[in-house]
């Protein structure tokens, strides 16, 4: 069955960096675009990044553009999110999700990785 497993979360100081990974199984990873979506404690969902199936195109909201980088290694069935210049307001659970043909459709989600940024 489809599985997405995030790792790499933890506690980091403001201004620091972290890299999240998302290992997938149960589907042909190289055929699908992927999202990262985050959820701050007690808050709603916020889209963070999107990458095409082959990594050739990437999209970010203004809130993270220039600080976060999405990438993928199709040979390892792994999606990454590099988080730099972290701020306290980046504290959240970060989810990876498989994207269907419509880019607004995230069909499968991981369990999430908690990133805590301390001041």
Binding site for other proteins (CB under 8 A): 35, 37, 44-47, 50, 59-61, 95, 100, 102-112
The CB-of-25 to other proteins minimum distance in angstroms stands at 16
Whose Cβ is closer to other proteins: residue 42's or residue 119's?
Answer: 42
Written as six digits, the tokens of 19 are 């890299």
As a whole number of angstroms, the distance between CA 41 and CA 36 comes to: 16
The CB-of-75 to other proteins minimum distance in angstroms stands at 26
Q: What are phi and psi of 88, to 5 degrees?
A: -55, -35
Among 52, 105, 63, which residue's Cα sits nearest to residue 86?
A: 63
Whose Cβ is closer to other proteins: residue 104's or residue 119's?
Answer: 104
Whose Cβ is closer to other proteins: residue 18's or residue 49's?
Answer: 49
The CB-of-89 to other proteins minimum distance in angstroms stands at 15
Q: Which residues pair with 40 in a beta bridge?
A: none
Q: Are 84 and 71 in contact (CB under 8 A)?
A: no
The CB-of-68 to other proteins minimum distance in angstroms stands at 13
């Amino acid at each position: 069955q489809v599985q997405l497993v995030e790792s790499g979360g933890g506690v980091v100081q403001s201004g620091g960096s972290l890299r999240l990974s998302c290992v997938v199984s149960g589907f042909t990873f190289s055929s699908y675009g992927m999202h990262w979506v985050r959820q701050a404690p007690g808050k709603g969902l916020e889209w963070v990044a999107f990458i095409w199936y082959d990594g050739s195109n990437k999209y970010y909201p203004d809130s993270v553009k220039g600080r976060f980088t999405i990438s993928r290694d199709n040979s390892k069935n792994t999606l990454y999110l590099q988080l730099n210049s972290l701020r306290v307001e980046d504290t959240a659970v970060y989810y990876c999700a498989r994207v269907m043909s419509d880019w607004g459709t995230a069909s499968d989600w991981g369990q999430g990785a908690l990133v805590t940024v301390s001041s």
